[in-house]
Amino acid sequence: METSLSFSLQKFWNLIEGKLEDWLVEAIKLIPNLIVAFITLLVFIFIANIGGKIFKNLSNKVVDSQEVINLLASIIKVTITTIGFFVALDFVGLQGTVTSLLAGAGILGLAIGFAFQDMTENLISGITMSVRKPFKIGDIISSNDVMGRIVKINLRNTLVETFSGQHVMIPNKMVFRSILTNYSRKGLRRIEIPVGISYGDCPKTAAQVITDAINQKPYVANTEKTAVHASSFADSSVNLLVWFWIDYPGHFDYMDVKNDGIITIKETLADAGIMIPFPIRTLDFDAKGGKHLSSVLAEQHQDS
């Protein structure tokens, strides 16, 4: 009994010893491949760092957002390092492991994409806008019923300070999808002020005195483009549309300029004897007009 047990243990030990010797031999054979794989990985890491720095230097001339530049540089570095890792595994002879890792990475990436779809869309929109540059920090824009000055451009949203002093964060995907008005792109903005004059006054005269008065203001840019147009006939007035251009953004505030423009137009018309009428109702007692109530009453008095 003891002899049989001793024989079994000896046989088991010999089997383990043989396996260990085989593994050791294989490990010794793999040492050159391991060294090559390790050196290959180091080379790819070095290339990733150099590539990231080169990308940052080139992107600073194209992309304004430092956050986007850092993100893209990190993606490039991780991609190059990952490729180096897979190449190193192939040198060691773990092709099956490489295939399994690639399949797992694909499934994981798909799952993450579905789980963070909204965040990913904002991120991609932010990167796209940083490259296309529809606006920059300090620009005045209008988008999604929000108008104000750009304070900060993040990877996921854009921070806008409205003229009422509120900070509004707009998701980048909404800015990217919606109609966007950039008031700072051309450096000029047109101010339009409607005004009505009485039917007894001459629109040409009113246009001339208004144009001369507006062009004397220091905030007016491109005085040759200042214009006054007759826009419509109203119940009590001939409606005019006054427009002029200002530097925008500039030294003068938009609302201050518009306020001063309205005051200037009113005072100018008053000085010229041109009336800005309030609603008036006239009773006419003739099919073609022209008869006043007093004349009608006088005719009736004579007939009686």
Quote the number of domains for the chain: 3
Check whether residue 144 and residue 89 sit in a common domain.
no
Does residue 160 lie in a domain region?
yes
Residue-by-residue DSSP string for 16-62: HHHHHHHHHHHHHHHHHHHHHHHHHHHHHHHHHHHHHHHHHHHHTTT
CATH of the domain at 214: 3.30.70.100
Q: Which of 8-22, 75-89, 118-132, 197-211 has the highest mean pLDDT?
A: 197-211
pLDDT tens-digit series, residues 266-285: 999 999 999 998 876 666 65
Instruction: Look at residue 51 and tell me if it is in a domain.
Output: yes
pLDDT mean over 74-93 = 79
* pLDDT tops 70 at residue 246: yes
Q: What is the CATH number of the domain that holds 104?
A: 1.10.287.1260
Q: Which residue has the higher pLDDT, 296 or 241?
A: 241
Considering the domain architecture, whether residues 6 and 111 belong to the same structural domain is answered as: yes
Range from 79-93, 196-210, 288-302 carrying the lowest mean pLDDT: 288-302
Distance of CA 158 to the CA centre of its chain: 7
| Residue 164 or residue 118, greater confidence | 164
**Residues 49, 97: one domain?**
yes
Residue 287: the pLDDT is 56
Farthest CA pair distance, the chain: 158
Tell me if 62 is assigned to some domain: yes
In this predicted structure, what is the pLDDT of residue 178?
83
Residues 72 and 172: their CA atoms lie apart, in Å, by: 17
- The H or E element that residue 5 is part of is helix 2-59
| pLDDT tens-digit series, residues 115-163 | 556 667 777 777 777 777 788 888 889 888 888 998 888 777 888 999 8
What percentage of residues in the chain have a pLDDT greater than 70? 69
For residue 240, the enclosing domain spans: 188-271
The reported pLDDT for the residue numbered 241 is 96
Cis ω before 249 (30° cut-off from 0): yes
pLDDT category at 204 given cuts 50, 70, 90 is very high
280 in a domain, yes or no? no
Which of the four pLDDT bands, split at 50, 70 and 90, describes residue 110? low
Confidence bin at 259 (pLDDT 50/70/90): very high
Please say whether the beta carbons of 81 and 42 come within 8 A: no
Same domain, 47 and 151: no
pLDDT at 226: 93
Nearest C-alpha neighbor of 213 from the set 195, 234, 186: 195
Question: Residues 218, 153: contact at Cβ < 8 Å?
Answer: no
At residue 94, the pLDDT reads 60
Q: What phi and psi, each to the nearest 5 degrees, are found at residue 93? A: 95, 20
Question: For residue 177, what is the domain's CATH number?
Answer: 2.30.30.60
